[in-house]
Amino acid sequence: MFMKGTSMRTAGLLFALILTASSALAQTDTTKAPADSSSMQALELRVTRDEGFAVKMKEDGEDTDEGDFSFDTKFKRVVLQVKNKPWASVEDSIAQVIKDARRERRNLFTNWAGIDAGVNFLTGADGDADLDANADFMQLDHGRSRFVSINFMEQKIEFGSHHAGLLTGLGWEFVNYRLANDVLLAQQGDSVFGVPVEEPRIDKNKLRMMGFRMPLMLEFNSKRAPLPTAADIAAMKADTTGALAKRFRPSRRHNVNIAFGVVGSWYFDTMYKQRYEVDGKTVQDRDKGDFNLLPYRLAAAARIGYGKFTVFAERSLTPLFREGKGPELTPWALGIQLVGFN
């Protein structure tokens, strides 16, 4: 699960911002440089995806890993000491270090948690996006029929290593179908249909579904990311330069990630919204009816990534409407991962 790691990175970022703001404020309030200082110093704080929260010192324009950084305020001198620390603490057991390293690698090479965004399509019984006459009222404006999911939890069972595993998780899904035609969706008995509207002109004609989603997918990664051995960890405990640790710092750079399987969705909220103008005033109508939409979905899904870039495709194996209560339509979603949480 990514949630713990996200909290740590957030806390590190907040600390960096606070410390940076404090340094800037102190420099504004500085009256003179320390009397015993004969060199120019700078402290660089950064938060990176690979390294997390990092501190770097510069002295006379040269990078230095260790040393004291000081600045004066009106009445105080603040001194910060920067020192490297062992990658593995002497108190940590070898088994615990390996367990933590394996968990970090598993999280990094599991590519589900994040924010996905894309577009929705509907295809008819013949598999064509150009819908038949009986379903033409559901013709979509694809550029504005958006798909968004916030995948906030992930878990993977590895098959021996990070190269292959079974992925699952949870997400929050938003599906918008923007109707291209000026029609009013209507429901009568067991049928759903569209009533053509000539006036007023409809500015927004949208059907929205919201719910939770869960994947079950096989995932594969191409990049090698070995774990340290007991001998490596013993050496790391005595190393304060971090050079040994860098050999075992996992990275997704140049990694090819492929996942395929199914995603199940359950929709707990549906809304139909129209916006139009009457006598120069904007009117918005909302209808919370279900319009005979199927409240769940099972979709075949595939995700392909390179490094930090990922694209996805999902094709529903279940219809949009309940059987016999609407035109036979199959939903699709295509898009990219905007933000990865790992």
The CA distance from 156 to 238, in Å, is 33
Q: Compare 329 and 54 and report the one with higher pLDDT.
A: 329
CB atoms within 10 A of CB 81: 9
Residue-range domain boundaries for the chain? 3-82, 94-340
Tens-digit pLDDT profile for residues 11-22: 444 444 444 444
What confidence score (pLDDT) does residue 218 get?
98
Tens-digit pLDDT profile for residues 43-79: 676 665 555 556 666 666 666 666 677 778 888 888 8
The CA distance from 20 to 15, in Å, is 8
What confidence score (pLDDT) does residue 311 get?
98
Tens-digit pLDDT profile for residues 11-52: 444 444 444 444 433 333 333 444 454 566 676 766 655 555
Tens-digit pLDDT profile for residues 248-266: 888 899 999 999 999 999 9
The reply to whether the predicted model has a pTM over 0.85 is: no
Tens-digit pLDDT profile for residues 103-123: 999 999 999 999 999 999 999
Q: Compare 129 and 164 and report the one with higher pLDDT.
A: 164
What confidence score (pLDDT) does residue 140 get?
95
